[in-house]
Structure 1
Amino acid sequence: MATPQPPVLRHAFTVRVEVAAPLTVGRTAAGTRRVVPITGGAVTGPHGSGRVLPAGADYQVVGAEVSWLEAKYVLELADGHLVYVDNRAVRVASAEDSRAIAQGIPVDPSRVYFRCAPVLTAGEDGPWAWLNRTVFVGTGERDPDCVRLEIFAVQ
């Protein structure tokens, strides 16, 4: 039996998602439920550039150390095509760092495990149709006013 070969990752995009102050719904059995409005941002990288439209939000369940994130928003690429993003992520940090992140206080990214699996959807008859047939993974960093994502295509 042949040795399995791991997938190759190719950098596709850097996405800087600007966010507004979170709306805290409240504490639930799973953690604190928050909704963070997405207000804009930029996308750059070897596969294109554009902007994050001021539409969508990051729906969060924030636990003491583990947070589950689900962001839904739209990119407008430089050529005018739109890409829908449905990004699910997990962020793991110490209880102290998690509290700081929730309060908008910067935390050293090396102390936080932040990984995501975005699904990118584009029109099937345009130049970005390949996004519909590609699996993506990424890493994230949280700043007080934005989330920075490095998105990789799985080859």
Structure 2
Amino acid sequence: MTDLIPPTLTHVLHLEVDVAAAIEIGATPNGVRRIVPILGGRVSGPLMTGIVLPGGSDVQQVRSSTETAVLARYVLESDRGEFVMIENRGVRTGSESDIARLRADEPVDPANIYFRSTPVFETEATRLSCLNNRVHVGVGARRKGLVIFDIFEVQ
């Protein structure tokens, strides 16, 4: 037995990311690929408030009819003019019918979907430096034209 203390989570950010319809690339040598353009959005929470800048994307690898790996890259801008780059890797799983409904941009109860991520941040803003040197985890939900994430710092 060790004296290590299990980590706790502290909520730091709430993201509402506006997305366009997915571009279906199709079956490639690396699996079925989809690209979801990021149109903008909002950031709130105890760490910062601001916006999601347009221009990022969510690159998806559909591994099966029940599992999708995601890699999103985009930029946040605080209401103080600070920029934060985010690379958010995750996985989304659910029943075959629920995942098919999500891919068709139809509503699905978030309780039926496992949507977790490990965001990594980069910023030069001193006030937000904890984003650079802490581990974070996210929990997500998909709605029509929108991806919602709550981001937690691992203590």
TM-score where L is the length of structure 2: 0.95
**Displacement of 1:4:** 3.4
Report the number of matched residues: 154
**Displacement of 1:3:** 4.7
Q: Which residue in the other structure is 1:14 paired with?
A: 14
Q: Deviations over 1:31-77 (max 9, x none)?
A: 42000000000000011100000011000012311100000000001
Runs of 4+ more than 4 Å apart: none
Question: Residue 56 of structure 1 aligns to which amino acid in structure 2?
Answer: G
Is 1:69 aligned to residue 58 of structure 2?
no
Q: Which residue in the other structure is 2:112 paired with?
A: 111
Contact 1:31–1:64 (8 Å) recurs in 2: no
Q: How does 1:108-147 map to 2 (within 5 A)?
A: 108-123=109-124, 126-147=126-147
Contact 2:13–2:152 (8 Å) recurs in 1: yes
Contact 2:22–2:37 (8 Å) recurs in 1: yes
Name the CA distance, whole Å, in 2 between partners of 1:108 and 1:146: 14
Q: Which residue in the other structure is 2:35 paired with?
A: 35
Q: Which residue in the other structure is 1:97 paired with?
A: 98
| Runs of 5+ unmatched residues, structure 1 | none
Q: Deviations over 1:63-109 (max 9, x none)?
A: 31110000000000111000000000100011111110000001000
Name the CA distance, whole Å, in 1 between partners of 2:81 and 2:33: 34
- Name the CA shift for 1:78/1:94 in 2 (closer, same or farther; >3 Å): same
Contact 2:17–2:38 (8 Å) recurs in 1: yes
**Displacement of 1:144:** 1.3
Match of 2:97, SS state, is helix
Match of 1:21, SS state, is coil
Contact 2:8–2:154 (8 Å) recurs in 1: yes
Deviation larger for 2-11 or 99-108: 2-11
**Displacement of 1:129:** 1.9
**RMSD over equivalenced CA pairs, Å:** 1.3
- Name the CA shift for 1:98/1:30 in 2 (closer, same or farther; >3 Å): farther
**Displacement of 1:29:** 5.5
**Displacement of 1:30:** 5.2
Percent identity of equivalent pairs: 42
Match of 1:34, SS state, is strand
Match of 2:48, SS state, is coil
Name the CA distance, whole Å, in 1 between partners of 2:134 and 2:92: 23
